[in-house]
Amino acid sequence: EDGYDLWLRYRPVEAAKISDYKTRSSVIVTAKSPTLDAAASELQRGLGGMLGATPPNSSTIADGAIVLVTPADNRGFAIPADLDREGFVIKSTTLDGHPVTVIAGGSDVGVLYGAFRYLKLIQTGQTTAGLDIQDAPKLDLRVLDHWDNLDGHVERGYAGTSLWDWWRLPDLVDTRYTDYARANASIGINGAVLNNVNAKADSLTEPYLKKAAAIAETLRPYGMKIYLSARFSAPMELGGLKTADPEDPAVAAWWQMKANEIYSIIPDFGGFLVKANSEGQPGPGDYKRTHAQGANMLAKALKPHGGIVMWRAFVYSEHDATDRAKQAYLEFQPSDGQFADNVLVQIKNGAIDFQPREPFHPLFGAMPKTQQMMEFQITKEYLGFATHLAYLAPMWEEALQADTFAKGKGSTVANVIDGTLDGHKLTGMAGVANIGDDRNWTGSDFDQANWYAFGRFAWNPESKSADIATDWARMTWSNDPKVVATIVPMMMGSREAVVHYMTPLGLAHLMDTGHHYGPGPWVSELGRPEWNPAYYHKADANGIGFDRTKTGSNALAQYHPAAAKPWLDPKKTDERFLLWFHHVPWDFKMKSGRPLWDELVVTYSQGVDEVSAMRKTWAGLEGQIDAARFDAVTANLTIQEREAQWWRDACLTYFQSISKRPLPAGLTLPGTTVEDYRKRVFPYAPGRG
């Protein structure tokens, strides 16, 4: 196996279970539509693979049939009136006197989602008897953001080059797009932004729209819409206008014309994603206009066609770099209530940038009159690329379950983005994709889990990362309980291990600059302060950490007082966030009784031990996992173990040169100098922007 099949491997189930499943999976009764066809053929593929014989497609109901039902063709089955358009019911029942399994959807795509859920029951070894399942997504937009450039390079991509063959599209439509769509539909992802947020205006020209339309055509039966990142200055670059000022009528007219053209080529186009006035991208700020003015101008152009705008809150300016963590809030919060009803403000989970651990972004819950959507990064820019094993779901669960206290206790980020806290209609979650043209899609087998988990959280932000890991491990590796019981805990601890050996105790952004791979805590010479790791850790003779209390940047004041309270006093702060919020002395007493410096050394060392343990655990699975995938994971874990050690040694050597303290008893460093570590550079690291 080479990982191409992802979690849709459909390998034969145990002989003992086959006949039981077969009595309920004999014929598929279907109606005609591309989406229902996709559902039927997935059931045939899956059941054929798992049960040994492909059930026929039929239009007559018989014993054991799986009957696909929609409001347009309900076959006498009472579809619940409240069933969401994308929701489904799976029910063991009797139709025309025959015992059957009904998969009913609120629409065709609901049936498709139901078919995948039915298959998952068998994939994970559960019963298909006496079923009565009803489910529907909690969020409207469940979108992958591809940071793919038109030349095929993927920004922060560690899985090869772009899936989108812009060069040969629309004539050549890679059959792989169908498998991409199947994988997404299996977890309910219903949208893809095809191009990088650092966008080229060319994406909006007719030839590229026709290429995008060919992709849209392939994804459509699977319930997916396509979106494009829009370059704000496109009216100048493509339309020859002298300005892109959102308040200029000629600019608005150009966008209206462009939107009309897009919809004439892609009738169900989803809308725009925009990165504006951030890291050199043009935006409304260039004309002293607000983000809301910019977003609303685009939203107005899309509105007649049913399109939406996802406007990113990832901004930080070179002019005020006292605390980068504060800037998005300062720029966006005052515009609460000003965004149009087809705009969502897309916010990263933390206020800096996809670090191994960040507290939740203070904008969540702070703009009750604005539709806010979550942006997670699936590609592991700051967590060891596709090489290091880090299952990100626990990190996302931590962010989603964080309490904003916006409307009292229990105002979780999940409830902000699912619209329930403030009664918003339009909701969503975006994930920066980790997908490329590597045979295994994501550059490593375990990174498939992050794509999978993203889909599950987008479907239901209340999901539990351990449940997701269990399902994924069963579908991807093996249903053997021993294998599952080995892999799941390994996954569950993996992100915390990365935190420990890269950025423990609330540290952040210590990665080497540019590519963000490997340690670079010593970097302090770059042009803009917030490009330097030293800006983030602020280590000096007195101590370490970023003071975000009143005596420092006071970023804490951006949180609701009840949310900020547990972080105000360093003695009471959850130590996982200690150095994020506080600059504390090297001898600050930790809960363990150790001084901070010792704790730092111990935690870094613990991270290395955790990776060694993962490598050994995996080695114990030899023979129980197919050889090619086993070896690939083994190789990655070997690299990760070596690099965890490098992270520990380099960071501690550097911090020791500042703290001037001895290591706690029993722990050592190799004696390499900071200068030597500094010389280890990677000019050709993948994925750089």
Least Å distance, CB 131 to ligand BDP, is: 42
When the beta carbons of 328 and 499 are compared against ligand BDP, the nearer one is 328
User: What 8-state DSSP symbol labels residue 95?
Assistant: E
Which string of x and - marks every residue 32-71 that binds ligand BDP (by CB under 6 A)? ----------------------------------------
CA 347, CA 146: separation in Å to the nearest integer?
Answer: 16
Q: Interface with ligand BDP includes 317 (CB under 6 A)?
A: no
Least Å distance, CB 312 to ligand BDP, is: 7
Q: Could you write out the DSSP letters of every residue in 101-169?
A: EEEEESSHHHHHHHHHHHHHHHHTT---SS-EEEE--S-SEEEEE--B-TTS-BTT--SSS-S--TTTT
> Residue 17 CA to chain centroid, in angstroms?
35
Q: Could you write out the DSSP letters of every residue in 257-285?
A: HHHHHHHHHSTT--EEEE--SSTT---GG
Among 231, 275, 361, 495, binds ligand BDP (CB under 6 A): 275
Q: Interface with ligand BDP includes 479 (CB under 6 A)?
A: no
User: Is 279 known to be catalytic?
Assistant: yes
Least Å distance, CB 283 to ligand BDP, is: 12
> Which helix or strand (DSSP H or E) is residue 297 part of?
helix 291-302
Q: Interface with ligand BDP includes 649 (CB under 6 A)?
A: no
- Which one of 96, 151, 206, 279 is the catalytic residue? 279
Among 155, 247, 248, 626, binds ligand BDP (CB under 6 A): 155
Structure tokens at 282: 């043009």
Using alpha carbons, list the distances in angstroms from residue 274 to 294, 312, 434, 674. Answer: 10, 6, 20, 40
User: What 8-state DSSP symbol labels residue 73?
Assistant: B
Residue labelled with tokens 């979780």: 412
- Which one of 86, 135, 358, 381 is the catalytic residue? 381
When the beta carbons of 109 and 313 are compared against ligand BDP, the nearer one is 313
Size of the site for ligand BDP (CB under 6 A): 11
Using alpha carbons, list the distances in angstroms from residue 15 to 21, 121, 234, 483. Answer: 10, 16, 60, 19
Using alpha carbons, list the distances in angstroms from residue 35 to 38, 115, 269. Answer: 5, 11, 18
- Which one of 165, 353, 447, 598 is the catalytic residue? 353
Using alpha carbons, list the distances in angstroms from residue 538 to 454, 583, 595, 624. Answer: 33, 8, 18, 47
Least Å distance, CB 311 to ligand BDP, is: 13
Q: Interface with ligand BDP includes 353 (CB under 6 A)?
A: yes
- DSSP lists the bridge partners of residue 133 as 90
When the beta carbons of 155 and 202 are compared against ligand BDP, the nearer one is 155
When the beta carbons of 232 and 655 are compared against ligand BDP, the nearer one is 232
Q: Interface with ligand BDP includes 381 (CB under 6 A)?
A: yes
Using alpha carbons, list the distances in angstroms from residue 455 to 148, 240, 317, 419, 427. Answer: 20, 40, 32, 18, 15
When the beta carbons of 157 and 570 are compared against ligand BDP, the nearer one is 157
User: Is 14 known to be catalytic?
Assistant: no
Q: Could you tell me how many residues make up the chain?
A: 689
Q: Pick out residues in 276-305 that bind ligand BDP (CB under 6 A).
A: 279
Q: Pick out residues in 183-202 that bind ligand BDP (CB under 6 A).
A: 197-198
User: What 8-state DSSP symbol labels residue 667?
Assistant: -
- DSSP lists the bridge partners of residue 312 as 346
Nearest residue (beta carbon) to ligand BDP: 689
When the beta carbons of 160 and 543 are compared against ligand BDP, the nearer one is 160
Q: Interface with ligand BDP includes 480 (CB under 6 A)?
A: no
Least Å distance, CB 154 to ligand BDP, is: 11
Q: Which of 62, 58, 60, 35 is nearest to 116 (CA)?
A: 35
Q: Interface with ligand BDP includes 156 (CB under 6 A)?
A: yes
When the beta carbons of 323 and 381 are compared against ligand BDP, the nearer one is 381
When the beta carbons of 258 and 348 are compared against ligand BDP, the nearer one is 348
Least Å distance, CB 198 to ligand BDP, is: 5
Q: Interface with ligand BDP includes 689 (CB under 6 A)?
A: yes
Least Å distance, CB 518 to ligand BDP, is: 15
User: Is 140 known to be catalytic?
Assistant: no
Cα 514–Cα 516–Cα 519 angle in degrees, nearest 5? 115
Q: Interface with ligand BDP includes 314 (CB under 6 A)?
A: yes
Q: CA end-to-end span of the chain, whole Å?
A: 32
When the beta carbons of 355 and 412 are compared against ligand BDP, the nearer one is 355
Among 116, 180, 354, 501, binds ligand BDP (CB under 6 A): 354
Active site residues: 279, 353, 381
Chain residues in the site for ligand BDP (CB under 6 A): 155-156, 197-198, 275, 279, 314, 353-354, 381, 689
